[in-house]
Structures are given as structure tokens and as C-alpha cells.
Structure 1
Amino acid sequence: MIYSSIVKMKIRQTFNHVNNHSWDKATEALAPNIHHRVSGDHALGGERHDKDSVRRWFERLGRVLPTLRITVTEVTVKGWPWNTQVFAQWDGKATLKNGTPYINRGLHAFTLRWGRVYALEEFQDSQAADNGLAAQAAAGIEEAAAAPILS
């Protein structure tokens, strides 16, 4: 199906924008009232309900894990343009400031309506995220220990 192929391509492009810290491009398809949730009680966890807060979350991601590279391993698209569910499996790797590797795996669940992202839920190894952020904070990246960005 052509529609599914286009959505898969757009999702992969968005992950590439994240890898390149192109926050305007990474957030351009977000609806103004997006619901964004990330598991875990750490600087990258919590829930946001507006595009500006999600953008600030992405900016923080780039500051606390500046070498993070996300590789999308699978994208599944279900539905039609007016109500589309997308699931993207990924592997994330970075080198922490102390030189140790950071590895995480996860799944993003998107809800799209007419090309806009209305919901994005990220499922990952929250313990790996918490440990990586603690190491970054110990190495001097204070924001890695900050309270979550919530809205």
C-alpha cells in the first residue's frame, strides 16, 4: 500500500532528524495538543501535552545524550489517513561522557491523523535510561538529573 510506504519513510526520516539534532524537522508533524509519554522517573520521563514541551524534551535529549544514535529496525503501519497507528522498533546507542557505552532498545507507538502526530508513547528500558542519565549527571551534565519536563 502506497500510504503505508509513505508513512514508514516519514517515520524513518523523523528518527534521522532526531539523530541529527534537527529539532524543527523532528517536531514539525506534531499536533499542537500532542500527548507524549516516556516511561521512567528520570529527566527524560513523564508526560507532555503540547508541542512546545515536546520540543523542549527533544532539545534536552540532545543535551543529555549528545552522541545518541537511534537505528530503526522495524516500522509497522495500520489504518487509514484519518486514524493511523504506527509502531517503530529501535536500538539506541551512545557513548557516555565517562566513556562507557549506553545501549537501549524500545518501541514508539504513534497515533496519526491526516499526517499529524496526536499521540506518541515511548516504551524503552527505563532502567537503562535512568542508569545512563545518572552517569551523565555524575560526569557533569547537570540536566541529566533534572526533573522531567511535564505539561
Structure 2
Amino acid sequence: MYSYIVEQEIRKTFDHVNNHRWDEAVKAVAPHIHHRVSGHHALGGERHDKAALRRWFERLGRVLPTLHIRVNNVWVKGWPWNTTVFVEWDGTATLLDGDGSYVNRGLHVFTLRWGRVHALEEFQDSQEAARGLAAQAAAGLKEAAAQPIVS
């Protein structure tokens, strides 16, 4: 039962991201989170607090406004005091130049403690992310070429 509840909450969080509901997306995040995305680009880097993660989500919505993440599988392991969640996903977007070929696949690894997200590591195709962000920057979206948000 616990695994089912966690899976449903994780799926809701991805729905919040798809619909740019940032307050809801970070609602279960602990104040001192560790969030890491590989790659040296506007969405890469590491954040260590909830406010920086919220700014990261806001940037995600601005630099890839049509991004849609489809959750393929969710695996939940552990107990309420120490839970690991793996989420396999596909992300697609149409870029500002009309290119609809942006496809990124990845895996999120969440560490939960008593329902709060304490760590989130995103494993994805960082080259595809960089390619998409470079295309957005070339189309005039300067923030797509910005330095990573770090804390």
C-alpha cells in the first residue's frame, strides 16, 4: 500500500511539472534538498535548497515551455523513513524554431524520508538537453544559454 501511495504522489509531481504548477511540484521537497542534473548547460548543476530548486523549475518552464514528460515506470523501494524511488521517463518538446524532434529519455532517482524529497538525481541524455537549449538560445531565448542555477 505504501509503495502505491508513493507512486501516485510521484506521478502527480510529474503532472505538476508538465502543467507548470511549480508550487505543487516542490511542495514535498525538504528545505535542504540535493538536486543534481548532469551537463554544463542552463539546466545542469547542483542545488542544495528548495528555493534554488523552485527557480530551476521556473527556468525549465521558460527554456522548454512545451516540454511534456511521460512517466513510463515507477519503482519504489524501502520504508517511510528511507525510500528510494526510480522513475523512467520520456520527455518531448517542440523547440522555438519549430523543430519537434527534441526527445530526451531519463531516469530520476528520488530519496524520500517520511514523505519529503531529500535528494533528486536526474540521469538523462545531457547532449540532447544541451542541443535543445542551444537551439532555443539560437532562436532568441537568451536564458537557454545561461549559467546553471546552483546553490
Q: Same fold (TM over 0.5)?
A: yes
Matched AA of 2:106: G
Aligned pair count reads 150
The separation in 2 between residues aligned to 1:34 and 1:147, in whole angstroms, is: 20
Deviation by residue 1:67-97 (Cα, 9 ceiling, x = unmatched): 0000000000000000000000000000000
The separation in 1 between residues aligned to 2:64 and 2:143, in whole angstroms, is: 10
Identity %: 73
The separation in 1 between residues aligned to 2:98 and 2:125, in whole angstroms, is: 20
Flag as ranges the 4+ runs of structure 1 deviating above 6 A.
Answer: none
* Cα-Cα RMSD: 0.3
Quote the offset at 1:138 in angstroms.
0.3
- Consecutive unaligned residues of structure 1, counting only runs of 5 or more, are none
Quote the offset at 1:10 in angstroms.
0.3
Aligned pair 1:105/2:113, yes or no?
no
| TM-score relative to the length of structure 1 | 0.99
Residues 44-123 of structure 1 aligned to structure 2 (within 5 Å): 44-101=43-100, 102-123=102-123
Quote the offset at 1:57 in angstroms.
0.1
Matched AA of 1:78: K
The separation in 1 between residues aligned to 2:137 and 2:58, in whole angstroms, is: 16
Structure 1 residue aligned with 2:124: 124
Deviation by residue 1:95-142 (Cα, 9 ceiling, x = unmatched): 000011211000000000000000000000000000000000000110
